């Protein structure tokens, strides 16, 4: 690793840390309904939305109707997106004359974008028209991200309020998030991207003659607008198949830097917002520290693996499938960030990482996408782990465990354990099924442990709502489209519903005032403790599978075998 590369990594984290309180504070104002500078610019849009949809912005509801609103909204989004793909050929803005999408792929893609996963069993430029990409996928990119934030907001209100059933208004939260946070940031970001050379047009694909005389079709389209929200909303679904490895999606080192940064920006800033909303910014920074430490630890291990001497190719770095323009560091920094945050966009192929770096990416997914994680979902997933940690360790101070003054009792523990269990069910059961069934095995491009890694990665990605793929797996089959589709559904709502139940139950509780006898959740000791619980409970359950996949591959590679 050169000094330049080190400086870039430091700059990346430096900017991320600096942006966290700035954006976090702004989001706090937006969510709490305070006046802020954007309310002068876009206030009309918020009001218009309420008026148009008949929303009573200040009318709050209990957790059940909040959840019902969210589920209904997401279901309608799914139906629209599904139908739109099925009748794509009759819709406008389809210069490449792409045909209707098959039912199983439409099902998979609709769920994928509705759940903020953006798993893509298809290649964008050869499957979906501009119209579907813009009015279908891009819209879901916004609202699935806003849905994640809405769940988080409900949870925060449950934690910070006392003895009330009211945890907010889903429609207001959805509107404010979209209008004041996602929309302005995306517009700004898209304009910068266009400046860097990302395409944004409705032109038909261009056919050109290359220097060697061959004919090549260059896909076009409104890419910049979609890439902005793809990164910001931790969606990750590329406009083109190659995602951000495509020069039209990610043309320059600067655009690369920004895209990496924007992928972590909102999840990171939300920790600060969280701290402010629960009344202790320290609590926010504590969570931020846990996420940052886990991210950097993963990054270091991955970089070490990538730069280690390789007995197969000698001492050369493995460049196959990496982002050759920006180098190993940028490939690994992206791969670690994109799997930590539940983004899933890529600028290099995860399949081509060294086994250990691939393992880190996989562990990031398997931990439940809580290292920054998806917008909103990463933080509420983290709170689930906090509840488990506080429950186990909190007993050790001799009191009924409490978090932010709220007692953690059987119901919360039950819900938290369900939220951890369900994504695990997806990963374990579906991967096991795929690894013994002929329709599962037929999708593999690689043999040996690497093939097992591909399967594990796919279901971990679905369960964690990440959406990145280990590539190498041909997932556009009925088996994979359906199992991955259901995996994404369970991974999303199997966490959201228990979390909402926790929010509702926490809200009705009294808040115990802090004292010297309180188990502190905002100091270094707790950071260490939380990391340990995440690794032992979240990670250790996957140890057998990981040792049969990437770990054994790494050991075999050191013995001179590759797959």
What is d(CA 393, CA 171) in angstroms, rounded to the nearest whole number? 37
For the CB of residue 355, give the shortest distance to another protein in the complex, in Å.
Answer: 11
Closer to another protein at the Cβ: 83 or 421?
421
For the CB of residue 389, give the shortest distance to another protein in the complex, in Å.
Answer: 10
For the CB of residue 157, give the shortest distance to another protein in the complex, in Å.
Answer: 17
What is d(CA 554, CA 557) in angstroms, rounded to the nearest whole number? 5
What is d(CA 343, CA 232) in angstroms, rounded to the nearest whole number? 9
Closer to another protein at the Cβ: 37 or 411?
411
For the CB of residue 522, give the shortest distance to another protein in the complex, in Å.
Answer: 11
For the CB of residue 452, give the shortest distance to another protein in the complex, in Å.
Answer: 5
Give the gyration radius of the chain's Cα atoms.
Answer: 23
What is d(CA 83, CA 493) in angstroms, rounded to the nearest whole number? 22
Closer to another protein at the Cβ: 32 or 547?
547
CB hemisphere CA count around 559 (13 angstroms): 8
Closer to another protein at the Cβ: 148 or 498?
498
What is d(CA 279, CA 403) in angstroms, rounded to the nearest whole number? 13
What is d(CA 226, CA 137) in angstroms, rounded to the nearest whole number? 8
For the CB of residue 331, give the shortest distance to another protein in the complex, in Å.
Answer: 26
242 neighbors 249 (Cβ within 8 angstroms): yes
**Cβ neighbours around 440 below 10 Å, total:** 21
Instruction: Tell me the H-state helices in 400-477.
Output: 410-425, 431-436, 438-441, 448-463
Closer to another protein at the Cβ: 1 or 535?
535
For the CB of residue 166, give the shortest distance to another protein in the complex, in Å.
Answer: 19
For the CB of residue 370, give the shortest distance to another protein in the complex, in Å.
Answer: 16
What is d(CA 12, CA 250) in angstroms, rounded to the nearest whole number? 17
3-state class of 381 per DSSP? helix
For residue 429, give both structure tokens. Answer: 């059961």
The Cα-based distances of 450 to 80, 134, 501, 548, 552 in angstroms read 37, 36, 39, 9, 9
133 neighbors 227 (Cβ within 8 angstroms): no
For the CB of residue 405, give the shortest distance to another protein in the complex, in Å.
Answer: 7
Residues lying near another protein in the complex (CB under 8 A): 162, 388, 391-400, 405, 408-410, 412-414, 417-418, 420-421, 424-425, 428-429, 431-433, 435-436, 447-449, 451-452, 510-513, 515-520, 523, 525, 529, 532, 536-537, 540-545, 547-549, 551-552, 555-556, 558-559, 561
Closer to another protein at the Cβ: 222 or 498?
498
For the CB of residue 265, give the shortest distance to another protein in the complex, in Å.
Answer: 33
What is d(CA 182, CA 264) in angstroms, rounded to the nearest whole number? 14
Phi, psi of 222 (to 5 degrees): -80, 75
Closer to another protein at the Cβ: 7 or 540?
540
Closer to another protein at the Cβ: 22 or 555?
555
Closer to another protein at the Cβ: 200 or 512?
512
For the CB of residue 341, give the shortest distance to another protein in the complex, in Å.
Answer: 24
294 neighbors 373 (Cβ within 8 angstroms): no
Which residues are CB-contacts of 307 (< 8 A; sequence separation ≥ 6)? 1, 317, 328
What is d(CA 417, CA 188) in angstroms, rounded to the nearest whole number? 40
Closer to another protein at the Cβ: 5 or 409?
409
Closer to another protein at the Cβ: 96 or 297?
297
What's the N-to-C CA distance of the chain in angstroms?
A: 26
């Amino acid at each position: 690793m050169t000094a330049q590369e080190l400086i870039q990594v430091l700059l990346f984290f430096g900017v991320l840390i600096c942006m966290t309180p700035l954006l976090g504070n702004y989001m706090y104002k937006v969510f709490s309904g305070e006046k802020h500078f954007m309310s002068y610019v876009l206030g009309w849009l918020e009001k218009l939305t309420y008026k148009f949809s008949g929303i009573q912005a200040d009318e709050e509801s209990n957790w059940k109707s909040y959840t019902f609103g969210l589920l209904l909204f997401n279901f309608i989004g799914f139906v629209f997106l599904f139908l739109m793909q099925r009748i794509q050929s009759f819709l406008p803005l389809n210069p490449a004359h792409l045909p209707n999408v098959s039912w199983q792929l439409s099902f998979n893609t609709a769920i994928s974008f509705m759940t903020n996963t953006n798993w893509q069993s298809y290649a964008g430029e050869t499957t979906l028209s501009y119209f579907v990409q813009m009015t279908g996928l891009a819209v879901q990119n916004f609202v699935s991200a806003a849905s994640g934030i809405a769940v988080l907001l409900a949870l925060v209100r449950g934690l910070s309020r006392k003895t009330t059933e009211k945890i907010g208004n889903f429609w207001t939260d959805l509107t404010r998030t979209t209008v004041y946070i996602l929309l302005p940031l995306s517009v700004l970001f898209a304009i910068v991207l266009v400046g860097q050379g990302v395409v944004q047009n409705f032109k038909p694909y261009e056919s050109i003659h290359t220097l060697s005389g061959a004919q090549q079709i260059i896909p076009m389209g409104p890419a910049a607008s979609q890439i902005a929200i793809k990164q910001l909303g931790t969606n990750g679904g590329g406009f083109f198949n190659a995602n951000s490895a495509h020069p039209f999606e990610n043309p320059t080192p600067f655009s690369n830097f920004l895209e990496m940064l924007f992928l972590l920006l909102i999840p990171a800033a939300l920790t600060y917002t969280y701290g402010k909303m629960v009344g202790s910014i320290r609590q926010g920074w504590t969570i931020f520290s846990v996420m940052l430490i886990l991210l950097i630890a993963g990054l270091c291990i991955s970089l070490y693996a990538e730069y280690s001497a390789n007995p197969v190719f000698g001492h050369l770095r493995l460049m196959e499938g990496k982002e050759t323009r920006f180098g190993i560091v940028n490939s690994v920094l992206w791969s670690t960030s994109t799997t930590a945050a539940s983004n899933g966009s890529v600028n290099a192929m995860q399949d081509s990482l060294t086994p250990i770096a691939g393992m880190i990416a996989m562990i990031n997914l398997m931990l439940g996408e809580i290292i920054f994680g998806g917008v909103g979902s990463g933080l509420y997933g983290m709170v689930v782990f906090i509840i488990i940690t506080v429950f186990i360790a909190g007993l050790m101070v001799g009191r009924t465990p409490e978090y932010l003054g709220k007692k953690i009792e059987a119901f919360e523990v039950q819900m938290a354990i369900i939220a951890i269990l369900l994504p695990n069910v997806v990963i374990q059961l579906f991967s096991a099924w795929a690894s013994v069934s002929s329709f599962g095995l037929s999708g593999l491009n690689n043999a040996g442990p690497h093939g097992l890694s591909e399967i594990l990665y796919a279901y971990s990605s679905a369960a964690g709502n990440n959406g990145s793929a280990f590539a190498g797996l041909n997932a556009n089959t009925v088996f994979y489209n359906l199992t991955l589709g259901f995996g994404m559904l369970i991974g999303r709502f199997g966490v959201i519903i228990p979390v909402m139940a926790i929010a509702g139950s926490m809200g009705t509780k009294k808040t115990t005032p802090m004292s010297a006898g309180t188990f502190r959740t905002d100091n270094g000791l707790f950071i260490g403790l939380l990391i340990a619980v995440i690794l032992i409970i979240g990670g250790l359950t996957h140890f057998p599978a990981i040792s049969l996949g990437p770990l054994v591959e790494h050991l075999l590679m050191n013995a001179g075998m590759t797959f």
